[in-house]
């Protein structure tokens, strides 16, 4: 029997179209989406973005929804939205939505959802791990052992204690709150700054980052990136944190003025840093490579093998809600 | 005026003698001891141990107390005790007293105290840091970044989640309990084995290490080293832990059969390890140096700059208690 394609018949699309902008998608996640939607996969297409979007918009069933990778590899801006007027919903597989122009989405009535709290625990765990690493010099001591220096040079210098450290958290959202909860178990004193004072938490609130830094031994950047939080850790804040202070950044690279941070580390004006994010990823300032008081990971705080199924459930749950006109599960903008 | 020494007079010792066996002692700690005792410093003497002890025993005011470094650089055994019959008290600057023959001390009525809980929080913090490091591949990802591989090879493989992991703790003493408390804040499930079931803790008890390993994702070695706990993690226990299992050792190197551990790691029969202690320190099995799923630190879990003053207070408090006939602060053996 001839196949439908060979017989020349055009099969009507049964499944709604879905724009997909995510390179790394494990097989079971892709299969789960593929059972529900006709996937228009940007990275598999090999096409430039404008060509890909124009092609999708010109199809008989233009896509109403898009799944966009978190972190900014693809930007959903006015040009993107103009190219696909059929779009009604954008799901970001990240928690941050700085790669999505919410103003332009709002103007067009495009709903936006994000990954919600899927990553929060993983990011919080990684932040605590990096703080212990910087204080107790784990990665540096690791290099010392692997280079065979222990028998040659003897005892490794003492690290610093985590207990009783005053940890100032910038942004007490899901992630910041989980970091606070974990660090309390180590006997840390938790301070925070946030858009507003939270009545429900027992931690001391500071109305601005500068005052928070002045009173803290450690600053943890756990806020979203937007115009108010770009370079929220700048030269003045580093100065206020002081020469015994430590910066942990699991937010976005651009939350910290990286050039000033590198300069402060080089000149010993702060004591150390744990950085999972950088201003120009995957580029990392080469000056950091020789510093033993810096721990650097390649934007991996966000995700573990175990969290993949949570992300799959959250993605599909939001798409199904959108297509059936129900409330989004983890809305950022909804109508 | 002639000095007393120049005038030929012999000055009676005003301060009681104290044997000191600790190489690294910061200046303020040494000064605090020196104000109270006449220090007979083994490592400064440059003498072989028997010569040093014989000299001390022959002095007009032979020492009644000794401060001995933790970890076994000097062993307080029958020969040591025989050489100094005046000895009535040994203070170990470590928590473990496997370098002190308690049976021989007991037989002679020599009291023993240790550092108590001075190090417990630091060790617990380090254990948690190493566990996060192994699961989330922090040190390995660090090497990846420092080698400049991020822009070349792209995303680093996902690590594993800490939350919901079943962590089996071997030895629920001070350190084990603090590890449990910290890991609860990350959402781990805590199991333990110990000499006896503790009524006061909510964690599930296993009567032996093999059963604990069978039910755990992670095994944390947090027990003292003695004849019952030597190689408590052996080939069978590693087998029971299984190929997804992780070992963290912040106890003593000899709590784990290191040869079997290396073999199990090489063959992928367990998933990873975080090791602060080794059987033949400072020697570390060279096979481990090429493994990215192993985190190794040079026996640094025990101590931080901030804990030094706690150790000083505990040492002097115990010595003063012994010399004034009061109860020891942190006794291991007392009379």
What number is the ipTM of this complex?
0.86
Helix axis angle for B138-146 and B120-136, nearest 10°, is 60
Q: What is the pLDDT of residue A228?
A: 95
| C-alpha angle B239-B243-B244 in degrees, rounded to nearest 5 | 125
The total of other beta-carbon atoms located within 10 Å of residue A13's CB is 11
Number of helical (H) and strand (E) elements in chain B, helices listed first? 13, 13
Q: What is the pLDDT of residue A257?
A: 98
Q: Which strands form B218-221's sheet, in the order they lie side by side?
A: B204-205, B189-193, B166-170, B218-221, B246-249, B272-275, B294-296
B82-119: buried (b, 16+ CB within 10 Å) or exposed (e) per residue? Answer: ebbeebbbbbbbbbbbbbbbbebbeeeebbbbbbbbbb
Task: Tell whether the model's pLDDT for residue A7 goes beyond 60.
Answer: no
Residue A280, chain B, CB below 8 Å: the answer is no
Calculate the average pLDDT of chain A.
94
Lowest mean pLDDT among A67-76, A82-91, A182-191, B253-262: A67-76
Domain boundaries of chain A, sorted by first residue: 17-118+306-333, 120-296
Q: Is the alpha carbon torsion for A241, A246, A249, A254 positive or negative? A: positive
pLDDT in tens, B124-140: 999 999 999 999 999 99
Mean pLDDT of A137-154: 96
pLDDT band at A94 (very low <50, low <70, confident <90, very high): confident
- B187, with CB counted inside 10 A (0-12, 13-18, 19+), is middle
Structure tokens of A270? 């702060």
Q: What is the pLDDT of residue B125?
A: 98
Q: Which fold has domain A120-296?
A: Rossmann fold (3.40.50)
Structure tokens of B320? 């003063």
Q: What is the pLDDT of residue B303?
A: 82
Task: Tell whether the model's pLDDT for residue A3 goes beyond 90.
Answer: no
Task: Tell whether the model's pLDDT for residue B175 goes beyond 90.
Answer: yes
Strand partners, A159: B304
Q: What is the pLDDT of residue B12?
A: 55
pLDDT band at B2 (very low <50, low <70, confident <90, very high): very low
Mean pLDDT of B193-208: 95
The total of other beta-carbon atoms located within 10 Å of residue A187's CB is 16
Q: What is the pLDDT of residue B1?
A: 44
In a mutagenesis test of the A interface, which of B143, B146, B179, B187 is the best target, namely the one with the most A β-carbons within 10 Å? B146
Mean pLDDT of B187-198: 96
In a mutagenesis test of the B interface, which of A22, A152, A180, A297 is the best target, namely the one with the most B β-carbons within 10 Å? A297
pLDDT band at A1 (very low <50, low <70, confident <90, very high): very low
Q: What is the pLDDT of residue B335?
A: 78
Task: Tell whether the model's pLDDT for residue B197 goes beyond 70.
Answer: yes
Q: What is the pLDDT of residue A227?
A: 92
Residue A182, chain B, CB below 8 Å: the answer is yes
Pick the residue from chain B with its C-alpha nearest to A155: B298
Q: Which strands form B111-113's sheet, in the order they lie side by side?
A: B38-41, B17-21, B65-68, B89-92, B111-113, B331-333
B87, B66 contact by CB (below 8 A)? yes
- A8 or A112: which leads in pLDDT: A112
pLDDT in tens, B181-190: 999 999 999 9
Residue B136, chain A, CB below 8 Å: the answer is yes
| Phi-psi group of A171: left, alpha or beta (phi > 0 → left; psi -120 to 50 → alpha; rest → beta) | left
| Contact flag A284-B150 (C-beta cutoff 8 Å) | yes
Structure tokens of B241? 């832990």
Residue B308, chain A, CB below 8 Å: the answer is yes
For A17-118+306-333, CATH number out of 3.40.50.360, 3.40.50.720, 1.10.357.10, 3.10.290.10 equals: 3.40.50.720
Quick check: do A17-118+306-333 and A120-296 share a fold? yes
Residue A55, chain B, CB below 8 Å: the answer is no
Task: Tell whether the model's pLDDT for residue B11 goes beyond 70.
Answer: no
Measured distance CA(B248)–CA(B276) in Å, rounded: 8
pLDDT in tens, B82-119: 999 999 999 999 888 889 999 999 999 999 999 999 99
The total of other beta-carbon atoms located within 10 Å of residue B78's CB is 14
Residue A331: strand, helix, or coil: strand
Mean pLDDT of B30-48: 96
Q: What is the pLDDT of residue A11?
A: 60
Task: Tell whether the model's pLDDT for residue B7 goes beyond 80.
Answer: no
pLDDT in tens, A49-70: 999 999 999 999 999 999 998 8
Helix axis angle for B120-136 and A120-136, nearest 10°, is 130
Residue ranges in A137-234 assigned as alpha helix (H): 138-146, 150-153, 174-184, 209-215
CB-based contacts of B321-327 (< 8 A; 24+ apart in sequence): B322/B64, B322/B65, B322/B88, B322/B89, B322/B111, B322/B113, B323/B16, B323/B64, B323/B65
From chain A, pick out residues whose CB is under 8 angstroms from the CB of B24: 155
Mean pLDDT of B291-296: 98
Pick the residue from chain A with its C-alpha nearest to B138: A297
- A88, with CB counted inside 10 A (0-12, 13-18, 19+), is middle
Q: What is the pLDDT of residue B4?
A: 47
A297, A277 contact by CB (below 8 A)? no
CA distances from B222 to A19, A39, A236 (A): 51, 51, 43
Calculate the average pLDDT of chain B.
94
Q: What is the pLDDT of residue A4?
A: 47
Q: Using only the alpha carbons of chain A, give its radius of gyration.
A: 23
Residue B333: strand, helix, or coil: strand
* Catalytic annotation present for A287: no
pLDDT in tens, A253-283: 999 999 999 999 999 999 999 999 999 999 9
């Amino acid at each position: 029997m001839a196949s439908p394609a060979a017989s020349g018949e055009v099969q009507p699309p049964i499944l709604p179209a879905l724009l997909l902008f995510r390179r790394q998608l494990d097989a079971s996640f892709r299969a789960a989406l593929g059972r529900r939607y006709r996937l228009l996969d940007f990275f598999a297409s090999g096409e430039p973005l404008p060509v890909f979007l124009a092609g999708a918009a010109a199809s008989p069933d233009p896509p109403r929804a898009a799944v966009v990778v978190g972190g900014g590899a693809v930007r959903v801006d006015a040009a993107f939205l103009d190219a696909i007027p059929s779009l009604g919903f954008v799901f970001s597989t990240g928690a941050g939505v700085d790669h999505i122009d919410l103003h332009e989405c709002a103007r067009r009535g495009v709903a936006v959802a994000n990954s919600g709290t899927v990553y929060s625990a993983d990011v919080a765990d990684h932040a605590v791990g990096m703080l212990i690493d910087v204080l107790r010099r784990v990665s540096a001591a690791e290099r010392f052992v692997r280079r065979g220096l222990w028998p040659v040079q003897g005892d490794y210098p003492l690290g610093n204690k985590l207990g009783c450290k005053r940890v100032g958290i910038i942004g007490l959202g899901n992630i910041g709150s989980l970091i606070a909860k974990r660090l309390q178990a180590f006997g840390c004193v938790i301070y925070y700054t946030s858009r507003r004072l939270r009545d429900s938490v027992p931690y001391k609130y500071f109305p601005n980052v500068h005052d928070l830094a002045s009173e803290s031994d450690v600053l943890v950047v756990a806020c979203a990136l937007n115009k108010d939080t770009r370079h929220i850790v700048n030269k003045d804040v580093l100065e206020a944190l002081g020469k015994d202070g430590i910066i942990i950044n699991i937010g976005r690279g651009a939350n910290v003025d990286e050039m000033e941070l590198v300069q402060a580390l080089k000149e010993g004006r702060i004591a150390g840093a744990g950085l999972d994010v950088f201003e120009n990823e995957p580029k990392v300032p080469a000056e950091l490579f020789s510093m033993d008081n810096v721990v650097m990971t390649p934007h991996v705080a966000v995700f573990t093998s175990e969290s993949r199924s949570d992300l799959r459930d959250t993605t599909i749950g939001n798409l199904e809600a959108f297509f059936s006109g129900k409330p989004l599960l983890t809305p950022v903008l909804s109508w």
